[in-house]
Structure 1
Amino acid sequence: MGQDLDAIVELLEDFVTELRRANKSAGTIDCYSRDVGYFVAFLEARTPPIEPNSDALTRDNIGAYIIDTLNRANRRTGKPITPEYANRQYRSLQQFCKYLVTEEILEDNPFDKMTPPYVPEKPIPVPPIEDLRKLLAACEGTDFEARRDTAIIRLLVDIGPRVGEIAALDVDALDFQENTALVIGKGRQPRVLPFGDKTRIALRRYLRIRARHPKAANNNPALWLGKRGQMTSWGIYQILERRANAAGIPHLHPHQLRHFFAHNWLASGGQEQDLMMLAGWRSRQMLGRYARATAETRARDAHRKARLGDKL
């Protein structure tokens, strides 16, 4: 235990190095780093302040931090912190402590016999296809933003990627011989996802106008360009918000389009195992979560198609 007074910020640097060695994604590393940093800020803001070293990684301090997180308001919206956010803080600190136990910096894991914050099941609404048609209609035009936004929305609906996966696409990720996009998912796992003819047309139209964009100079590989260069996930969120407002439909989250893809795959008779591969899911738990919101609709449609009573 000779290192029990090591500062958490220094231990975090070692943890990040280990995450990079394990080839974890940049998003995962940033998330863990931010969340551990929030815990350090919590310790320093206590009265009296708690020295943020490894001795502070106790069950009591972590529990107090989670309670404080659940009682705080979101700085941007002013609304209460969601259980999902508090659960993420718990998981990030849990991974950090697991690493410290492995390195024998902590003798005991403070998370042993701890319970994560309960996250109520909240089915994500699947947007009706009529709303998506209105959304695409709001993108009509031949200017750069119209071509780009149409291509983004069609790709989100057609192949069902995570928003981070589509934001990170390079031009070379598109294969127009096979009509596929190569995305890099969680765990740095690649997936080749096929898209349809309308998405192909939208992508080709966008690439032609993209070639004249100022940020496309010097062989910029980023597929989606904005005023400052490569678009981020947040930029795609903003596109959907702006276009939904213009279409006069409820605000759409990119994840709803992923749910739309999953629902329609299953409703069209697609195999669950194939959907897991296309969506980048490793467990059937995720399949169940995505399918649950519209399971009743699919069950009713299947019953009408089967016409069991009419066969008597």
Structure 2
Amino acid sequence: MRRGSRNVRRTPDARGWGLSRDGGDAVALGRSLKILYSTTNRQMSQTRTGCLLVGSPRSGTTLCATMIGSHPDVGMVIEDLGHAGHTIPGVKVWGNKLCIPNQIRLDPIPDDRSLWRRLEDGVRAVIGRPRRRPQFMESYPPPPSQQYTIRTYVEKEAKLVAMIRDPDHVVDSIRRRGPASTVDLAKERWSQAARTISRASEEYPDRTHLVRFVDLVERPKVVMSDICVFLGLPFSLDMIEGHSGARQYEREKIDPSVAHRDVQSYNLDAYDPEAFRAYKKLTQKAAVGSYTNQG
């Protein structure tokens, strides 16, 4: 059949690529492509920044995450316990929002499951039928095999944005969403969150940015401007309107009064003095406008 016929399918060989038939040039080309690929991957990873947004439950993490995620150069996921966050393509900053301690902690949780229980949990994960935990265990975090830690995110070059909110407001907000028995659970979660954020800010001071909930609702533009500088992004006005993406904030603008509601005292200073002292220290370190000189 003629060389120019449409029915002829030619497979490129060494001669088709202009390479020597002994394969030496092909090996050299393969090495060059490998070097180019690794260099491109390294350059791409250097231009991408991770953002892990953490805080206790009901501390404003969802509101802050939706505002950050409204930036055109940010890909933010909400409460992903796997590794989907850092695989988001086409963005300069990938991110994930998780609550402390029920979704993420600073260090791995000791795995006290038996060998057979681990095997069973592994099989259930493969077939898509996870074990249903009793109601009294709903407050427990997921098994370590299903959970990243804050240190894991730091190893992936992520920066930490940590939310801080008045403990009485946190506990009261959790209480209003559940039975009276949740008060002790709310206290414990806030206490662990305060301790964890304090340790993370001390161990990773250059990779941690603290945000007070009261500043977020009263001065959202300044807070978002600070976060943009922290993440190496230009400011976007889309972030100010991002609150509409959170169901509890579907209104024209954020209501600053939510940070000043009258709630009862839950005596967190007596419940966990160390965590309360850590919270006070964190609120002093969380200086709004520290990056943009708008404080």
TM-score range, shorter-chain basis? under 0.3
Structure of greater Rg: 2
Structure whose residues are more often helix by fraction: 1
Structure whose residues are more often strand by fraction: 2
**TM-score calculated relative to the size of structure 2:** 0.24
